[in-house]
Structure 1
C-alpha cells in the first residue's frame, strides 16, 4: 500500500519495506491511520494492518453498485 500511496502522491511520504522472504507478502509498516490529499484530486486513507475487507450480508447492493 505504501508504494502505491507514494506513486499517487508523487513523493516519498510513506515508509516502504521489502516483502517477506518466506512468502513474498508485505510487512505491516503502517502503524497509524493517515488521510493523504492527492495532488490530482481526491484523498487516500491508509490504515494499519488491513489485509482485506470482508462484506457480510451485502445482498445485491455491491453487484448493483458496480454493474
Structure 2
C-alpha cells in the first residue's frame, strides 16, 4: 500500500477537493465527498469537517481552480 502524497496548498486560492470521512463511528465512514470551492486561506492547516460527526475529514485530492472564482 502506498503512502498518500502530502497536498501543498497555495495561500489565498480556491481548490476543488475530494475528502473522505475516516471516523468509524460516523454514518459517513469511508464515504467520499466533493468540495467544489474550498478556499485555502493562508495555505496551512487547510481542513474540511464532517457535517454529521463534526470530525476532520481527510483531503485525498485537490485541484487548483483555473480560473479562480472572484472574491465577493
- Normalising by structure 2, we get a TM-score of 0.21
Q: Which is higher, the Rg of structure 1 or of structure 2?
A: 1
Higher helix share: 1
